[in-house]
Structures are given as C-alpha cells and as structure tokens.
C-alpha cells in the first residue's frame, strides 16, 4: 500500500526553541497556533503535540478547513440532526464530537469563512457546540490546535479574520521555519527520503554527489519539505545511481541556483555518506533538556507504520455497544459512522487522491466514488 511519509528531521538550531515550547505546552490544554509555510510539517508537529499530551490515548481529528467547501464545513465540524436540511436523512456527528476527550486540529484555519469563525470562537469560550438543526448546545471536552500558512495579523487588518478569534487561538504560538532557513537539515532530509524510497522500490542505495549537495543547499525549496520529499522520490525512480549527479536534476532545480561553478563549497562539517538518519535520532525529551548541545538533532515523524497504528488506537471510541447507545444510533447508523470516519482518514492521509485512498482502504476506486456519492446525496 502506498502511504505518505512525513516528518521533520533536523540539526538546525532554529528548531530548538520550537521543541522547548512543545515540551512545556504538550501536557496542558492550552490552545496552540502553529504557523509556517505550506510543506514545513505543521501537521506532524501537531500530531507530536497530541502524542506527548495527556490526551494521547484519545482521538486526534484533523480537519483541513481549506479543502472542505464553506457550505459543508459547518456540518463537518459540528454535525447535523436528521431532517436539518434537504437530504439530511440521518443524524451525523461532527468532527468536534468525534474528537471528544482528544485533540481537534484545524488546519489552514485562515481559509475559514468569517461567519463560521464566530462559532469557533464560541467553542473556545464556552466549550460547547450546537449541531446544525439542533435544539441546544452540547458541552465538549476537546483541545483545539490550529495551523495556518497565512499571516493572521495581516488578515485581521484586512478584515478577513476576526481579531478576537486570533487572540483566542494564539495563546501559544509555534512557528516552523521554512526549509531554506534550516541549513544542513536539507541534506539530512534528502538522505532520509532517499534511504526510504530506495528501500521501498527495492533498489540500490542512492547518495548525493558533492555538486548535487551544493545545489540542494542553495536551492530555495519553495515547497519546503514536501517538495524535497517528492523530488527525492522522483530521483529514486529515474536516477541511474548509485550517485546522483547534476544531469539527474530537473531544469527547475538547476535554474534556481544560478551558476553552479560559483556556488560556495560545502561546509566543513558536512560528510556525504550513506548514513542512516535513524542513527541521529534522539527523543523529544533529551533534545530539549540537554543544555550542552549547540544544535538540535531530532526526528519528529509519523512513519509509514506509526500513522495507521495511532489511528487504529483512536478508533476504539467507535467499537463498543455502549458508544453506539451513547450516540442514540442504531446498528446501521453506527456502522455508517465508522465507515465515514475511516474513509475521511484515508482521504486526508493522501491529500484527497481517491485512487490512493481506495488502495489504503483495500477497495476499488469505483467503490469509493460510489460511497462518496451516496454520502453526498444523503446530506
């Protein structure tokens, strides 16, 4: 099965303060706002925040506020009652209720419509929600963590984001630096991704030539870690190897660094080798408590096996008769709820690519499309 590898690997000191704050805030219920450009690893950071918290055994529910149409987002977040609108033929739990006792991650919250921002503010203030078509509020116990790639202060000034909501979210700010500002981390990440993709494709281990390493360090990587990951996967398929040379690079990468002969030499502390990045791993606790370290060496990763395992543990909330009765559902409605939840997780994990989601679920793409169409018709 094809699953997305994601993670933050680094030795750069720009991450040190991030993890110091993360360690302090994780055990609390304080609201956290994570900022950073697209592709810097915000969701991985938030998943680690959840896993290090007292809510680690409860659900982690991510919501991409920019990927769901604004007319559907309210129902997705808060749920709806049967008969609340046309085609609402059954009660639907929202993401806040599914996250009960755990963490809800509102990704790209800067994309949220201002009318819905008011309701999120109420959740933060009153710790309660109201389903679409509901008769009254319902108390919830959920930690809210949000992320955005926008400058929310600027969005507030432009009138696109509520100032009161911004200050409610920005209790603990965490900023992930772009890859171009993380120095030698670029090569650590490239080595890690090459190792993974070569192993996955059952081919010989690839490494970077000195010239390619210089190009990697001087390219801006506008897509950040995600762009580097995708590019190394391409290299693992197309490069003849075992060493990646300049002719293996795309014109976009080469054109982005100018005259290659004028690039500065590699830093003296760089050793190009086929080292396993795992040798450089240390725990979150040790990375923030060792005052002697001049730099941070850490890996924060939801690995190929770890992500589904975490989700499997979180699904326990939907696997008992008690939970079914608590939600006042019959067996058919309960099974549909479980199916919806798993389908949503699969789609989120592969950024909405239906054929990959179907592969994760072990069903045909046409079957998945039929299920999504049926769900849309019912709503």
pLDDT computed for residue 326 by the predictor: 67
**Cis link prior to 242 (omega < 30° from 0)?**
yes
Residue 54 pLDDT greater than 80, yes or no:
yes
Write the pLDDT tens digit of every residue in 238-266: 998 789 999 999 999 999 999 999 999 88
- Structure tokens that stand for 194 in this block: 């090459």
| pLDDT surpasses 70 at 276 | no
Residues 269-274 have a mean pLDDT of 66
CA distances from 310 to 68, 74, 218, 352, 356 (A): 24, 26, 37, 20, 20
Residue whose structure tokens are 């079914």: 324
Token match 């004028």: residue? 262
pLDDT at residue 317, as a whole number: 45
Residue 252's pLDDT is 93
Tokens of 266: 């590699």
Most confidently predicted of 26-30, 81-85, 366-370: 26-30
- Reported as a single tens digit per residue, the pLDDT across 135-178 is 788 899 999 999 999 999 999 999 999 999 999 999 999 999 99
Largest CA distance in the chain: 70
pLDDT of residue 83: 66
8 Å CB contact between 13 and 245: no
């Amino acid at each position: 099965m094809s699953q997305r590898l994601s993670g933050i690997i680094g030795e750069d000191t720009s991450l040190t303060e991030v993890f110091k704050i993360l360690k302090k805030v994780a055990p609390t219920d304080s609201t956290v706002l994570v900022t950073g450009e697209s592709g810097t690893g915000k969701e991985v950071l938030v998943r680690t925040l959840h896993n290090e918290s007292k809510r680690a055994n409860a659900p982690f529910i991510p919501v991409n506020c920019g990927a769901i149409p604004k007319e559907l987002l309210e129902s997705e977040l808060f749920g709806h009652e049967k008969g609340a609108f046309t085609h609402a033929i059954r009660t639907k739990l929202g993401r806040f209720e599914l996250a009960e006792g755990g963490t809800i991650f509102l990704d790209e919250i800067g994309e949220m419509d201002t009318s819905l921002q008011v309701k999120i503010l109420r959740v933060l203030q009153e710790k309660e929600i109201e389903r679409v078509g509901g008769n009254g509020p319902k108390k919830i116990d959920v930690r809210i963590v949000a992320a955005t790639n926008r400058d929310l202060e600027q969005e507030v000034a432009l009138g696109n984001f509520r100032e009161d909501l911004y200050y409610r979210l920005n209790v603990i700010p965490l900023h992930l630096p772009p890859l171009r500002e993380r120095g030698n981390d670029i090569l650590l990440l490239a080595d890690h991704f090459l190792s993974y993709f070569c192993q996955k494709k059952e081919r010989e281990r690839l490494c970077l030539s000195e010239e390619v390493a210089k190009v990697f360090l001087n390219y801006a990587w506008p897509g950040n870690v995600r762009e580097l990951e995708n590019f190394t996967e391409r290299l693992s398929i197309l490069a003849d190897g075992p060493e990646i040379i300049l002719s293996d690079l795309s014109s976009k990468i080469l054109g982005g660094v100018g005259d290659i002969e004028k690039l500065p030499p590699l830093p003296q502390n760089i050793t190009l080798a086929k080292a396993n990045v795992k040798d450089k791993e240390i725990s979150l606790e040790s990375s923030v408590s060792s005052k002697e370290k001049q730099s941070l060496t850490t890996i924060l990763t939801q690995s190929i096996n770890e992500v589904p395992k975490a989700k499997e543990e979180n699904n326990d909330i939907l696997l008992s008769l008690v939970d079914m009765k608590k939600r006042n559902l019959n067996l058919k409605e309960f099974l549909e709820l479980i199916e919806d939840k798993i389908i949503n997780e699969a789609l989120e994990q592969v950024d909405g690519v239906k054929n990959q989601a179907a592969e994760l679920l072990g069903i045909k793409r046409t079957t998945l499309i039929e299920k999504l169409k049926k769900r849309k018709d019912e709503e």
